[in-house]
Homo-oligomer: A and B are copies of this chain.
Amino acid sequence: MEIKTKQQGIKVVADVLDIVGGKWRGQILAHLCDDPKRFNELKTVLNRITSSTLTKELRYLEDIKMVERKIIQDTPIVVEYRLTEHGMSIKDLIYHIVAWGLKHRDTVFEKKG
């Protein structure tokens, strides 16, 4: 694949990073790679995220069809978030991100504590 495919190939990088970037989206998607998670499970595992931020990020991921919200029980309410079938496609990319990070982040961050 040639990235040289000028504005085509580069804009796509920005688009993908819109989806996966920011402080939380990558982490949320990474957690959902394993298995579906409930709202408060995500909240616990994403240390320090607030309810309102988590809600916003999940709504965004729903809007772009990466994640779906499923009410699995009505009363008491139980909600589950999972990757859509289409969203599953992100797993590979997340694996590559993790792989690169495990190999290289120490070098790259050596001077940054």
Chain A positions within 8 Å of B, measured between CB atoms, are 1, 3-4, 6, 9-10, 12-17, 19-23, 26-27, 30-31, 33-34, 45, 63-66, 86, 89-90, 92-105, 107-112
Residue on B nearest A33 in the bound complex, by CB: B3
Known interface pairs A1-B98, A4-B34, A21-B22; 8 further A-B residue pairs with C-beta atoms within 8 A, sorted by A's residue number? A3-B33, A10-B30, A12-B102, A14-B27, A17-B26, A63-B111, A64-B111, A66-B108
Asked if B105 and A3 make an inter-chain contact with CB atoms under 8 angstroms apart, the answer reads no
Tell me the smallest distance from the CB of A44 to a CB of chain B, in Å.
11
Interface centre among A3, A6, A93, A95 (most CB of B within 10 A): A3
Copies of this chain per assembly: 2
Tell me the smallest distance from the CB of A59 to a CB of chain B, in Å.
13
Q: B residues within 8 A CB of A3?
A: 30-31, 33-34, 94-95, 98
